[in-house]
Structure 1
């Protein structure tokens, strides 16, 4: 069994009574505080007769309000930043943070950092947004992020921490994907090196659902529901043509969750190509030959392909985007050209 270290460092002993009033008595029909020794087993698989002992660092801390907290809410200045690509649910997350800090903990200074990590850098001169319940009350009805977002900037760690010091931020919430959280880790390490009492809280954002230790990331369901509509349209086009083939390329990076769940969400998909399962073009079991058989039998076909599928079919490229993510070859156009040439 793989062992992961789930330890979460803290800034010091929690000595302040939380303003969130909960119970410490089990069974009194009032929600209880979460204790620091309330832990969750990551791997729930078991075999009869198997004895397993767990180390503290290999167990996941349970989320929820503690009885004692570290920061004095009346003195807290919290910052929220959204980075990377847009994702459904970003404004919901911003709103939830603000409402929880304001109404549950009594925090009155909450700043929105505009346009990702670049909002920390003086050269861009982006002003912050004072976030209050009145400001965020309806933002969950809007797409995108009210704070704006950009890629890059997370490697300028010293300058970002300089800004955090100047703003006297107690807590920084970083909402973003892989590049954002790598930047957040570097920022946290620099904060620790300087001995600053600031907490960095990473909130993972991945529409692709490619994150271990959780069942579903925010934005994933919306992506699948929109993809199902696209597939439905592609099926109509393919079905109503002579030997029509519909190709729908979906996002997902190196994971095929959106593609696979889209196929499960509709009965119109005939072939699903995902990064986790290599596929062949040529030969008896190759995609082209299977398409030929499908068209002979049903006169149409629909292919759903994840953007990261079939990347081994392209020449290696070292190109990356501003967040450091590898740029993929366009598997959608690749399939279109290969299939068109085969049936020409």
Structure 2
């Protein structure tokens, strides 16, 4: 092996550049040349690549986003794209690929691995929902940003005696909402894994008000759903959300105000959660993932994803993680902690 291609797929995430840097520098010790693939799998479909050297990755460790660009392209949706991708792998002399991404990007990596392409995957998402790894880089940065936002909203909520609803990312899993909600002292946390009853939330907030606590903070994951919505199949749920006025945060705020009479306001943090400089934990974790991936390539240990399990770096078969979601277990210690400190989870 002499040439390694590296790409970043899916949404951007703090720590991606730290991974790229680690792969390039560790690969050089093994005698590898590294080719950066532009814009995820799309770059291999259209042949958009560039050489990466030690100079290329100088100074990128603290930089957010990805110097390679990204996209959500899945070449297996078009057989012609798969053939173009394979042709470009041969054209550019790529002997192996490091694919950095979430469940969809790793799903493509797994299918290529099954076709005989040497691939090593690295888990990436601020949502922390990639299967088989305890943490993904970018998650700690997102939690820090959300926690700071909650801290700032506390003062406004208290000053104006309002309910402040904070909508955070987490379409399929509520890790950000749960951890940041606990860290920020949220009074209610609504996540996809626990269908919420708005009457329960309203009752909890009214009780706080009657005890003299004239404000409340409610953290809502974008994928949170009511008890009624939880009974819908995937197609019906999607249709209901498309017809909903505004996002879930606005709906929850409106329903809380109607049910309690308490003035409610909404903050949707959106892309702020995954932009900007990665915190130290994510820089270190991303660097560890990158060095481990390069070492696995040197060992010929393909078809695996680098994972953090019990504070150890291990290789997990891609077929065990592709297109799978790691949800928050309803008996997780974080859920128990939230309940023990009096946080309402909507059930």
TM-score (ref. length: structure 2): 0.67
Q: In the alignment, what sits opposite 2:21? A: 95
Q: Among 39, 44, 64, which residue is 1:120 paired with?
A: 44
Q: Which has the higher contact order (CA 8 A, sep 6+)?
A: 2
- The structure number with the bigger radius of gyration is 1
**Cross-structure match for 2:336:** none
- Which ranges of structure 1 fall in alignment gaps of 5 or more residues? 1-70, 193-197
> Which whole-Å CA distance do the structure 1 matches of 2:243 and 2:57 have between them?
36
- 2:220 is paired with a residue whose SS is strand
8 Å contact 2:102–2:130 — kept in the other structure? no
* Alpha-carbon distance in structure 2 between the residues aligned to 1:112 and 1:93: 12
Rate the CA distance shift 1:251–1:93 in 2: closer, same or farther, 3 A: same
Within the candidate set 62, 65, 73, 1:144 is matched to 65
Aligned length: 250
Q: Which residue of 1 aligns with 2:91?
A: 166
CA–CA distance in structure 2, aligned partners of residues 332 and 206 of structure 1: 22
Whether the 8 Å CA contact 1:116–1:150 is kept in 2: the answer is yes
CA distance in 1, matches of 2:227, 2:171: 14
Question: TM-score, normalization: structure 1?
Answer: 0.67
Question: Given the alignment of the two structures, is residue 300 of structure 1 paired with residue 300 of structure 2, yes or no?
Answer: no
Q: Distance in 2 between matches of 1:178 and 1:258?
A: 17
Q: Report the equivalent of 2:102.
A: 177
Match for residue 153 of structure 1? 74
Confirm or deny that 1:259 pairs with 2:177. Answer: yes
Report runs of 4+ in structure 1 exceeding 6 Å deviation: 326-329
Q: In structure 2, do the counterparts of structure 1 residues 164 and 328 end up closer, same or farther at CA, with 3 Å as the change threshold?
A: farther
Give the superposition deviation at 1:148.
0.3
SS in 1 for 2:153: helix
Partner of 1:240: 159
Report the Cα offset of residue 253 of structure 1.
Answer: 2.5
**CA separation in 1, counterparts of 2:206 and 2:237?**
36
Q: Note if 1:272 corresponds to 2:150.
A: no
Is residue 227 of structure 1 aligned with residue 146 of structure 2? Answer: yes
| SS of corresponding position for 1:147 | coil
Structure 2 residue runs without a partner (length 5+): 262-347
Superposition deviation, residue 320 in structure 1: 12
Given that residues 308 and 328 in structure 1 are in contact (C-alpha distance below 8 angstroms), is that contact kept between their aligned partners in structure 2? no
Given that 2:196 and 2:227 are in contact with CA atoms closer than 8 Å, whether structure 1 keeps it comes out as no
**Partner deviation per Cα, 1:49-79 (whole Å, 9 max, x = no partner):** xxxxxxxxxxxxxxxxxxxxxx4xxxx1110
Contact 2:124 2:130 in 1 (8 A): no
Whether the aligned pair in 2 keeps the contact of 1:307 and 1:328 (CA below 8 Å) is: no
Residue 316 (structure 1) shift? 5.8
Q: Distance in 2 between the 1:188 and 1:312 partners? A: 40
CA distance in 1, matches of 2:42, 2:129: 26
Give, in whole Å, the separation in 2 of the partners of 1:217 and 1:180.
Answer: 14
Q: 1:154·1:180 contact (CA, 8 Å) conserved in 2? A: no
CA distance in 2, matches of 1:320, 1:163: 40
Structure with more helix by fraction: 2
Compute the displacement of 1:313 (Å).
Answer: 4.7
Contact 1:154 1:184 (C-alpha < 8 Å) held by counterparts: no
